[in-house]
Each structure stands twice: as structure tokens, then as C-alpha cells.
Amino acid sequence: MAEASDKGQRQTNEDYVLVAPDMDLAIVADGMGGHEAGEVASHLASEVIRDTLAASRPTDLRQAEAAILAAMVAANGAVHAKNQANLATGRMAMGTTVAGVWRPDRDARHVLLFNIGDSRVYLFRDGRLSQVSRDHTLYQNWLDGGERGPAPDSHYLTRCIGVAAEVEPMVGLCQVMQGDILLLCSDGLNAHVDDPTIGMVLGGGGDISTLCHSLVAHALAGGGSDNISIIAVQWGLSDQ
């Protein structure tokens, strides 16, 4: 696993990057304002997810998926409770997006993906990049609805951690192959670097740490208007 993060043109970095190689767990969270600050929400949510998963003992993928859902609910509860304690509601409430990958069985090729909001998970395989997470935005809803009417703001979230009392994360399953790269990022990357360019960088060779810093450099060169955070995951796999 490798990571890179930059505050871009913002005054502070409200993203939080969590890499736990001992758990085969990686999380990128993109915090949003509020009574306190977005970095509080992104940090708290990521730590709660990690601690909840560390305490789980799934024996199969169904139990692992349930553990992730429970971890996301717990993270939402923790951030939402801080908002309630601060009497912060609506736009005054802090929140965060989350994108993560977890391999609960270190000897297996199955990886669980989870996200809420517009932080993304990409899969780079055999020279091709594909987004394997789903954006929870009004813009994505507009695309799904056949692009009727004017396009809404692409940054307007329909789901996130902490603002509402209940949360609806996405959890998916991916079978990884030797050579695959899983890329997690906050929207500060894809706001300025299109998918073909991301794929070109990942296909350019080099170690994954170099690739992460190269992608950040591309985002900064493209404007860098937001915080930019990236994790690249490339696991060694058994021959099973």
C-alpha cells in the first residue's frame, strides 16, 4: 500500500488517509466543514471503521460484509453524535465521504469495497481503468435518470457520513488478480484528472508510491482546487 495527500489550494487538508497493512485495510475520507471542521469528521469516521473491523471476526464474506455495514453505521453514529452535541444541523453539520477496501482473509483473492459520497475506488487491470465504486451525488442521479434537464452540480452529495441519523453505504465484492491496482481517492483527484489520464499514469510503470505522487502532481497541475488524497493498493497473491 502507498499513499499521497496534498491540501491543494485549500487552507487546510480535511481529507484523512488511513492505511492499515496489518489488516489489509485502506480508507480515504473527505471531510466537510461544520461546527468543528471536516478533518474531525474524516479522522473520526476512519478510526471508528478501523476499530470496528479490527474487533470483528468474520468467518466468511457474508459476515465480513455485515461487519463493514456495522462499521459504517458506527462511524455515522459517532460523527452524528458530535453534531448533535454541538447543536449542528443541516449545513452547519460536519460530515465526510468514505471510500475503502478491506481484505478480511489475507490468503484470499476476494476484496470488499465500500464507499459513501463521492470518494472513489478504481480498479486498474491489464492496462484498463474502471470505477468500481458508485458516486452518491445529484449528478450521478441525473446521469442514471437519462440526463433530463440541466445537469446539477457534480459536487452535491446525496449521502455522506455524519449529517443524518441513518446511513446507506455501498458495499461490493471484487476478485483481484496478480498485477491489479486498487486506487482510492478523494474527489480532488478526479475533479482535475480524467479517467484516461489516471489510467495512463498507472500504466506508466514504477512503484505504487511514485504513482500516487505522480497523480497528485497531475491534479495540482490541473488546478488543485481541493484537497487531494490517494491510496494505491497492490497485494501479492497466492497461486490458488
Count CB atoms within 10 A of the CB of residue 165: 11
Q: What's the pLDDT score for residue 142?
A: 76
Q: What's the pLDDT score for residue 51?
A: 97
**Of 116 and 85, more confident:** 116
Domains along the chain with CATH numbers: 2-233 (3.60.40.10)
In the block, cell 441513518 appears at 166
104-130: average pLDDT: 93
Q: What's the pLDDT score for residue 25?
A: 97
Q: Is the predicted pLDDT of residue 137 greater than 90, yes or no?
A: no
3-state per-residue secondary structure call for the chain? CEEEEECCCCCCCCEEEEEEHHHCEEEEEEEECCCCCHHHHHHHHHHHHHHHHHHCCCCCHHHHHHHHHHHHHHHHHHHHHHHHHCCCCHHHCCEEEEEEEECCCCCCCEEEEEEECCCEEEEEECCEEEECCCCCEHHHHHHHCCCCCCCCCCCCECCCECCCCCCCCEEEEEECCCCCEEEEECHHHHCCCCHHHHHHHHCCCCCHHHHHHHHHHHHHHCCCCCCEEEEEECCCCCCC
Residue-wise pLDDT for 36-82, tens only, equals 689 999 999 999 999 999 999 899 999 999 999 999 999 999 999 99
The chain-wide mean pLDDT, for the chain, equals 91
Count CB atoms within 10 A of the CB of residue 233: 23
Residue-wise pLDDT for 89-101, tens only, equals 777 789 999 999 9
Q: Hey, what's the cell of 202?
A: 498507472
In the block, cell 481517492 appears at 185
Phi-psi region for residue 208, left (φ > 0), alpha (ψ -120 to 50) or beta? alpha
Q: Give the CA radius of gyration of the chain.
A: 17
